[in-house]
Amino acid sequence: MKGLIGMVSGYFGKYVDEAGMRVTDMFLAFPAIILALAVEAAIGRGAINAAIALVVVWWPTYARLFRAETLRVKTQYFIDAAKLSGTRTMRLIFRHIFPNVLTPIVSYATIDLGNVILAYSIISFLGFGVPPPYPEWGRLVSEGFQYFPAPAWWYAIIPGVIITIVVIGLALLGDGISEFITGGTIT
């Protein structure tokens, strides 16, 4: 859905582009964590509601990225050839533009996954995640602060270190995938 908004805005341009990008600007005007907390407070606590809140926060970035890539791809000669051969607009978007904009989007999404996990941990740290019988890294850090610095400092430190390792690992994985997809060498 978010990609469709970006691709349609980038392909049609003018008024469609203005309308689509102004809607994304409205969502980007709010700080991400505050908007996610507001959405989750409005719809209730839980893992699915936290995921919905994060989608509400993250979709404008991907819509803009899809738009930018669509603007790049639609100037290629094969798009002109498809238009001249009578290809319908939606078929052109889904058959020719979408596969060509997907590669940079996948690269960015793998790098961005660490940011999503970090934001979800922040939401659960603040008490808006899954209710207490279920473990979450952010809530474990929050609950561990009552034992910090003594007698059991590791209750807060260990989940924080795990979050850090996972986020850095996903960023490195995303960088490697990006290098592999673009034909560079993985260093």
Q: Is the pLDDT confidence value at 186 over 50? A: no
Could you tell me if 73 and 100 are in contact, meaning their C-beta atoms sit under 8 angstroms apart?
yes
- Write out the two tokens for 156: 């807060």
**pLDDT tens profile 3-19:** 777 888 888 888 888 88
Residue among 96, 137, 111, 129 nearest 58 (CA) = 111
What is d(CA 33, CA 21) in angstroms, rounded to the nearest whole number?
A: 21
Residue among 34, 31, 68, 39 nearest 55 (CA) = 39
User: What architecture is the 2-182 domain classified under in CATH?
Assistant: Orthogonal Bundle (1.10)
**pLDDT tens profile 150-163:** 777 788 888 889 99
In the chain, what are the domain boundaries? 2-182
pTM of the full structure: 0.78
DSSP letter for each residue of 69-127 = HHHHHTTSHHHHHHHHTT--HHHIIIIIIHHHHHHHHHHHHHHHHHHHHHHHHHHHHTT
Q: What is the mean pLDDT of the chain?
A: 84
Q: How far apart are the first and last CA of the chain?
A: 34
